[in-house]
Amino acid sequence: MARGRLETTVTRRKKGDPAAERVAAAIMEEFSPKTAEEAQEALRSVFGPMIETMLKAELEAHLGYPDNDKGPKDGPNRRDGYTRKVVRTSAGEVPIDVPRDRDATFEPAVVPKGERDLTGIESRVMSMYARGMSQRDIAATVREIYGFSMSAETVSAITDRVWEELERWRSRPLEPVYAFMFVDCLYVPVRDGRGARNAAVYAVLAYDLRGRKDVLGLWMDDSEGAHRWMQVFDELKARGVEDVLYVSSDGVAGLGEGLGAVFPAATHQRCIVHLVRNSLRYVPQKEAAAFCRSIRAVYGAPSLAAAESAWEDFRGEWSRYPGAVAVWERSLDQVWQLFSCGSEVRRVMYTTNALESVNASFRKVVRRGSFPSEEAVMKLLYLRVLELYRKWGEGCHHAGWSQVRNQLLCDEAVRPRIERYL
Q: Which of 150, 169, 188 is the last residue of a domain?
A: 169
Is there a single domain that holds both residue 134 and residue 194?
Answer: no
In a domain, 3, yes or no: no
pLDDT of res. 138: 56
The per-residue pLDDT of the chain, averaged, comes to 80
In a domain, 7, yes or no: no
Reply yes or no on whether the pLDDT at 288 is more than 90: yes
In a domain, 105, yes or no: yes
Is there a single domain that holds both residue 322 and residue 387?
Answer: yes
Is there a single domain that holds both residue 303 and residue 191?
Answer: yes
Is there a single domain that holds both residue 48 and residue 86?
Answer: yes
Residue 135 · residue 57 · CB < 8 Å: no
In a domain, 11, yes or no: no
Is there a single domain that holds both residue 99 and residue 220?
Answer: no
Is there a single domain that holds both residue 134 and residue 191?
Answer: no
User: What does the angle CA 185 – CA 190 – CA 191 come to, to the nearest 5 degrees?
Assistant: 165
* Nearest CA-CA partner of 273 in 309, 249, 257, 304: 249
Q: In the structure, what pLDDT confidence band is assigned to residue 132 with cuts at 50, 70 and 90?
A: very low
* Nearest CA-CA partner of 155 in 140, 135, 184: 135
Q: Which of 169, 187, 216 is the last residue of a domain?
A: 169
Element (H, E) at 156: helix 152-170
- Encode pLDDT of 230-245 as tens digits: 899 999 999 999 999 9
Is there a single domain that holds both residue 160 and residue 271?
Answer: no
In a domain, 37, yes or no: yes
Is there a single domain that holds both residue 143 and residue 191?
Answer: no
The number of distinct structural domains making up the chain is: 2
In a domain, 287, yes or no: yes
* Nearest CA-CA partner of 306 in 338, 281, 284, 328: 338
- Encode pLDDT of 300-350 as tens digits: 999 999 999 999 999 999 999 999 999 999 999 989 999 999 999 999 999
Q: Which of 169, 187, 209 is the last residue of a domain?
A: 169
Reply yes or no on whether the pLDDT at 290 is more than 90: yes
- Encode pLDDT of 380-398 as tens digits: 888 888 888 888 876 567 7
Q: For the sheet containing 213-221, what is the strand order?
A: 213-221, 195-208, 177-192, 243-249, 267-270
Reply yes or no on whether the pLDDT at 278 is more than 50: yes
Is there a single domain that holds both residue 243 and residue 138?
Answer: no
Mean pLDDT confidence for 181-202: 85
In a domain, 13, yes or no: no
Reply yes or no on whether the pLDDT at 165 is more than 90: no
Half-sphere exposure of 333 (CA within 13 A, CB side): 3
263 by Cβ neighbours in 10 Å (0-12 / 13-18 / 19+) ranks as: buried
Reply yes or no on whether the pLDDT at 271 is more than 80: yes
Is there a single domain that holds both residue 148 and residue 270?
Answer: no
Question: Which pTM value belongs to this model?
Answer: 0.66
Give the domain extent around 98. 18-67+74-169
| Distance of alpha carbon 26 from alpha carbon 156, whole angstroms | 26
Strand partners, 244: 178
| Distance of alpha carbon 211 from alpha carbon 404, whole angstroms | 9
195-208 vs 213-221, strand pairing mode: antiparallel
* Nearest CA-CA partner of 85 in 123, 47, 57, 121: 47
* Nearest CA-CA partner of 214 in 245, 179, 246: 179
